[in-house]
Amino acid sequence: MSTVAKAHGMDGTLVDPDWPPLAPEEIRSLLSQFPGRGGPFQILTVSPRPFSAASVIATQNARLFIKRHHRSVRDVEGLAEEHRFLRHLRAQGVPVPQVFISAAGQTAIEINDWTYEVHEAPAGIDLYEDAISWTPFRAAAHAYSAGQALARLHLASQSYRAPARKPRPLVASFTIFGSDNPAAAMRAYLAARPALAHHAATQRDCDLALELLAPFHAELQPLLHALPPLWTHNDLHASNLFWSDTSADARVTAIIDFGLSDSTNAVYDLAQAIERNIVEWLTLMQDPAHPERVHVHSDHLLALLQGYESVRPLSQEEAAALAPMTALCHAEFALTEADYFLGALHSPQKAKIATDDYLQGHARWFHSQAGRTLLDTLRRWADPRARAAVQIGEAVQP
C-alpha cells in the first residue's frame, strides 16, 4: 500500500489533505452495496489529489478506484451528470473507466455527509500519478498522443445531448467569455454562487480580471458563432491519462477524471489542455515579479496540436479562436476553485490564491512578453500555410 499522507498544494508543495483518506471499514461498507465487489481487499494507493479522497484497491477479482466527495461538492445528481457522459463515451469506444452500479441501481451513493463512486481501474500505467497540475509532459510524443486522445473524445461527444450542468463547485464551464457581454455574464455567474457573490475580495478580483481579459474576448467574440456547443473534459492534464508504458513513446490508454466536464466547445477544451500542460505556471506563483521566467514548452505545444489535428482537423475559425481562448479559458476554472474554497472549505486564504494568483495572475501573464509570444505562436500556427508547414520530427509521429 502507498503511504501517501499528503496532498498536492496550490503552490506545488505537499500539504496536509483537506479530506481524510478512505478508511478500510468505510470501503468495506460501501462495497457491500455493489454485487460481486465485496470480500477481502487491499488498499493499493492513496491519491494526493486535493479536492476529494480516493484510492485504488485490489479485491479478489478486480482493481477498483473509489472516490469520496463531500456532499457540498458533489451530490448524487452532480455525479450522475458525469456518469451519463462517461457511459456515452464508452459506448462510442472512448477508453474511459466503467462506473459500477449498486444493487439499488445507483452509480453514486450518499452516506451521511459523503457521496461515493466506484470505477474500474483503467487499463495502462498511471505514469503521471504524482504529477502536479501545470507540470509538463515528459516527452513530445506524450503530447502528440494526448492530442489524439482529446480529438477522439470530441468526435465521440458530438452525438451526446445533455444540457449544461447546474452551478456547482469544481465545474469548468464557459459562460462568461462565451457571451457577448462578459461583465453581465460575470455578475450572473457570481449571483448563482452565493459563496462568491458575498465575498468582496472576489468581486474586486473579478472586476480586475475583466479589464485584463477584455482584449482577448474582443479577439474571440467574432468567432464564437463558429464554436458549437460540445460536452468536454476540461482538465486533460497528463495525470488524467493512463499510458501504455513508461517510455518516451508511450501512448494514451485511458482518460480519467471527468469532474470538471460540462457543455463548452472543442476549442475551449483544447485550450485547457494547452494551459494545463504547456505553461509552467508554478514558476509564476513562486516568482510573480519575473513572468519572463515562466517556461513554455513549444515543442510539446506543436506536438499536442499536430496530434489533435491528425484525428480531428480544426476549422479555420476554430484555429483562429485558439489563441484568445487560451488566454481566457482559465477564468471560470479559477472561479469554480474559489467557490469550492469558500463554500466547502470556508478558506478565504485559499480562495484568494484562486482569484489573485490564478485568475488575475494568469491574465496578467498573457500581457507579458512571454505570454504574448505564446499567443503569437498560436496565431501564426492558425494560418493554414503555417499549419501545413509544421514539422514536429519523427519522435512525435504515431
The predicted-structure confidence for 49-88, as pLDDT tens digits, reads as follows 889 999 999 998 889 999 999 999 999 999 999 999 999 9
Strands (E), 37-174: 41-46, 53-59, 63-70, 109-111, 114-120
The predicted-structure confidence for 334-368, as pLDDT tens digits, reads as follows 999 999 999 999 999 999 999 999 999 999 999 99
Q: Assign 398 a pLDDT band (cuts: 50, 70, 90).
A: very low
Set of cell numbers at residue 182:
462578459
> Does residue 11 carry a pLDDT above 80?
no
Yes or no: say if 174 and 331 are a contact pair by the CB < 8 Å rule: no
Q: How much is the average pLDDT of 245-266?
A: 97
> What pLDDT does residue 391 have?
46
> What pLDDT does residue 258 have?
97
Beta-carbon contacts of residue 225 (< 8 Å; ≥ 6 apart): none
- Between CA 343 and CA 346 the distance in angstroms is 6
Q: Assign 8 a pLDDT band (cuts: 50, 70, 90).
A: low
Q: How much is the average pLDDT of 96-113?
A: 96
> Does residue 110 carry a pLDDT above 60?
yes
Using DSSP, state whether 118 is helix, strand or coil: strand
Yes or no: say if 178 and 224 are a contact pair by the CB < 8 Å rule: yes
> What are the two backbone dihedrals, phi and then psi, of residue 374, each rounded to the nearest 5 degrees?
-60, -50
pTM of the model: 0.93
Q: How much is the average pLDDT of 363-375?
A: 97
> What pLDDT does residue 326 have?
98
Strands (E), 47-137: 53-59, 63-70, 109-111, 114-120
> What pLDDT does residue 384 have?
78
Return the domain boundaries, the chain: 7-120, 140-396
Beta-carbon contacts of residue 391 (< 8 Å; ≥ 6 apart): none
* Cβ count near 108 (within 10 Å): 21
Share of the chain above pLDDT 70, in %: 93
CA atoms within 13 A on the CB side of 21: 20
Task: Answer yes or no: same fold for 7-120 and 140-396.
Answer: no
Domain 7-120: homologous superfamily in CATH: Phosphorylase Kinase; domain 1 (3.30.200.20)
Crossing angle of helices 369-382 and 298-311, in 10° steps, is 30
Q: How much is the average pLDDT of 235-264?
A: 97
Beta-carbon contacts of residue 311 (< 8 Å; ≥ 6 apart): 147, 148, 151, 152, 155
Beta-carbon contacts of residue 236 (< 8 Å; ≥ 6 apart): 146, 149, 150, 255, 269, 272, 273, 276, 277
> Does residue 232 carry a pLDDT above 80?
yes
> What pLDDT does residue 17 have?
80
Mean pLDDT of the chain: 92
With vertex at residue 322, the alpha carbon angle to CA 320 and CA 326, rounded to the nearest 5 degrees, is 145
> What pLDDT does residue 265 have?
98
Which residue(s) pair with 68 in the sheet?
53, 116
**140-396 sits in which CATH class?**
alpha beta
Q: How far is CA 47 from the centre of its chain?
A: 16
Between residues 259 and 394, the one the model is more confident about: 259
